């Protein structure tokens, strides 16, 4: 039986979800999955599954679970630190994009890169 192993970077690109990263950050901030679930308006099993899915994708344990709550592992702390930076950058860029008009790059001319939505430019349906 031949088993194909997906290269690490392809696995991450296909399976890594920003929502799971956001949930991990919320769990660390709240100190527990139930508290994070309440803050995120999710069920505790859904939060737990998101963390487990992220751990499965990365193939490392991100949090240590106990009756007292959860504690991020060293891997979890590193990912949380970078995750906070990612979300900060996304917020900054979102503000930048929403506050300035979009200009076409100088080398592309003034025409839109997207086809016109007029009926004459649409392919015929064959009917």
Write the pLDDT tens digit of every residue in 74-100: 999 999 999 999 999 999 998 888 877
Is residue 37 within 8 A of residue 43, CB to CB? The reply is yes
pLDDT, position 105: 59
Low-confidence ranges of the chain (pLDDT < 50): 114, 117-127
SS3 content of the chain, % helix, strand, coil (to 5): 60, 5, 35
pLDDT, position 127: 45
pLDDT, position 98: 80
The CATH code of the domain at 8-92 is 1.10.10.10
At 95, list the tokens: 């503000």
Question: Taking the domains of the chain in order of start, what are their residue ranges?
Answer: 8-92
pLDDT, position 120: 46
pLDDT, position 104: 59
Q: Rounded distance, CA 5 to CA 78, Å?
A: 26
């Amino acid at each position: 039986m031949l088993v194909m192993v997906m290269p690490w970077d392809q696995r991450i690109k296909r399976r890594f979800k920003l929502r799971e990263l956001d949930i991990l950050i919320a769990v660390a901030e709240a100190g527990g999955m139930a508290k994070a679930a309440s803050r995120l308006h999710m069920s505790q099993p859904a939060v737990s599954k998101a963390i487990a899915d992220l751990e499965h994708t990365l193939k490392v344990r991100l949090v240590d679970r106990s009756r007292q709550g959860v504690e991020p592992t060293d891997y979890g702390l590193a990912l949380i630190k970078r995750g906070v930076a990612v979300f900060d950058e996304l917020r900054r860029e979102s503000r930048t994009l929403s506050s300035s008009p979009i200009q076409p790059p100088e080398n592309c001319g003034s025409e839109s890169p997207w086809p016109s939505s007029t009926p004459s430019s649409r392919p015929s349906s064959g009917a």
